């Protein structure tokens, strides 16, 4: 177990370096002069030159690279082309907003999918199971920007119950969280169901029934506890998907999160902000992946006690 933790933590270092390398490569991969790009298209020549010097774009590549890596390690991801504020300052509050949206959506999705998935597996191949299967299939096929628009139209415009966009009160959370959460719930329900159907077919389930355990105990203790192993991995992947989906959701609901910041920065060609957003998104994904692996190892006695 300790070996696993150490191995996974050691993986973080090279992964982060790889990402920083990619961010550096962006300067030169994107067509055009990076100094002009950073200064803005209409910047005076003097500004462009000063930026070229500050980043060392006139120096050989390895010098530039080294300079960039050390700057990033010191927490300096540059300054925004537009606001001229340090990237870190615009990115950090956005991370919190995205985390709120993603975590709440994921909690919603986990609750719904565990419940529906277990019920579906319990009533395997019976009408209730078929209803759940069809509804979750429809959910998977409906992207957030369709369900979100329908929800805004119905709840905010037609009924006038909920605000259209922003995040200034708890009422602003309802639509984005449920829209994003529902999509995840639909995907996860399918997978939870198949994990549970799989677990319910195992020999130890017959043993539990032969003991005289009630169906509730059989499903929610014996089967679920085993199905939890694959389900944890799924939930980890689900959190990744939720973060991916948050980019679109934030755009629909004008949510001041990291995803919308990233998209806007791409549209306005504000490269330092794009780099900052990619950097933090990547670190979040790697971290989530690490945590999922550790939880998995901790839950599985075959790994934990060996």
Give the binding site for other proteins (CB under 8 A). Answer: 15, 18, 26, 29-31, 125, 137-138, 140-146, 149-150, 152-153, 157, 194, 197-198, 202-204, 206-215, 222, 225-226, 229, 240-241, 243-245, 247-248, 251-252, 262-263, 266-267, 274, 278, 281-282, 285-286, 289, 299-302, 305
In this structure, what token pair is assigned to residue 121? 């597996």
Measured from the CB atom, is 100 or 254 closer to other proteins?
254
CA 265 to chain centre: 19
Report the length, in residues, of the chain: 306
How far is residue 98's CA from residue 199's CA, in Å, rounded to a whole number?
Answer: 35
Closest CA to 289 of 248, 242, 235: 235
Beta strands in 181-272 (DSSP E): none
Measured from the CB atom, is 104 or 144 closer to other proteins?
144
Measured from the CB atom, is 51 or 227 closer to other proteins?
227
Say if residues 280 and 258 touch (Cβ distance below 8 Å).
yes
Q: Side-chain half-sphere of 268: how many Cα atoms within 13 Å? A: 16
Least distance in Å: CB of 161 to other proteins? 15
How far is residue 238's CA from residue 107's CA, in Å, rounded to a whole number?
Answer: 11
How far is residue 238's CA from residue 225's CA, in Å, rounded to a whole number?
Answer: 19
Least distance in Å: CB of 171 to other proteins? 18
Measured from the CB atom, is 31 or 45 closer to other proteins?
31
Least distance in Å: CB of 44 to other proteins? 26
C-alpha to C-alpha distances, 258 to 96, 99, 104, 232, 251, nearest whole angstrom: 8, 9, 16, 25, 10
Measured from the CB atom, is 31 or 75 closer to other proteins?
31
Least distance in Å: CB of 83 to other proteins? 19
Least distance in Å: CB of 71 to other proteins? 20
Terminus-to-terminus CA distance in the chain, angstroms? Answer: 8
How far is residue 191's CA from residue 202's CA, in Å, rounded to a whole number?
Answer: 17
Least distance in Å: CB of 184 to other proteins? 11
Least distance in Å: CB of 99 to other proteins? 16
Least distance in Å: CB of 222 to other proteins? 6
126: left (phi over 0), alpha (psi -120 to 50) or beta: beta
Measured from the CB atom, is 74 or 158 closer to other proteins?
158
Measured from the CB atom, is 100 or 142 closer to other proteins?
142
Measured from the CB atom, is 50 or 298 closer to other proteins?
298
Exposed, middle or buried, 210 (CB in 10 Å: 0-12/13-18/19+)?
Answer: exposed
């Amino acid at each position: 177990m300790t070996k696993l933790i150490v191995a996974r933590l050691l993986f973080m270092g090279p992964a982060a370096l790889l990402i920083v390398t990619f961010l550096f490569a962006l300067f030169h991969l994107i067509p055009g002069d990076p100094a002009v790009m950073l200064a803005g298209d209409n910047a005076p020549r003097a500004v462009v030159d000063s930026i070229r010097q500050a980043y060392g774009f006139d120096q050989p590549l390895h010098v530039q690279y080294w300079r960039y890596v050390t700057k990033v390690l010191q927490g300096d991801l540059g300054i925004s082309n537009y606001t001229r504020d340090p990237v870190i300052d615009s990115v950090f509050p956005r991370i919190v907003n995205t985390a709120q949206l993603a975590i709440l959506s994921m909690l919603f999705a986990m609750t719904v999918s565990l419940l529906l998935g277990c019920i579906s597996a319990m009533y395997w191949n019976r009408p209730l199971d078929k209803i759940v299967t069809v509804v979750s299939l429809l959910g998977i096929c409906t992207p957030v920007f369709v369900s979100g628009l329908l929800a805004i139209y119905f709840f905010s415009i037609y009924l006038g119950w909920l605000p259209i966009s922003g995040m200034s009160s708890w009422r602003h959370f309802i639509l984005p969280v449920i829209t994003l959460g529902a999509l995840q719930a639909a995907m996860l329900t399918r997978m939870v169901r198949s994990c549970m159907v799989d677990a319910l077919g195992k020999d130890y389930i017959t043993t539990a029934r032969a003991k005289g355990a009630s169906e509730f105990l059989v499903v929610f203790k014996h089967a679920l506890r085993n199905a939890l192993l694959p389900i944890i991995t799924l939930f980890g992947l689900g959190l990744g998907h939720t973060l991916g989906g948050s980019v679109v959701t934030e755009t629909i609901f004008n949510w001041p999160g990291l995803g919308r910041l990233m998209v806007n920065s791409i549209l306005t060609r504000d490269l330092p902000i794009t780099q900052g957003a990619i950097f933090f998104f990547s670190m979040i994904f790697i971290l989530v992946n690490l945590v999922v692996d550790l939880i998995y190892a901790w839950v599985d006695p075959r790994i934990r006690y060996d």
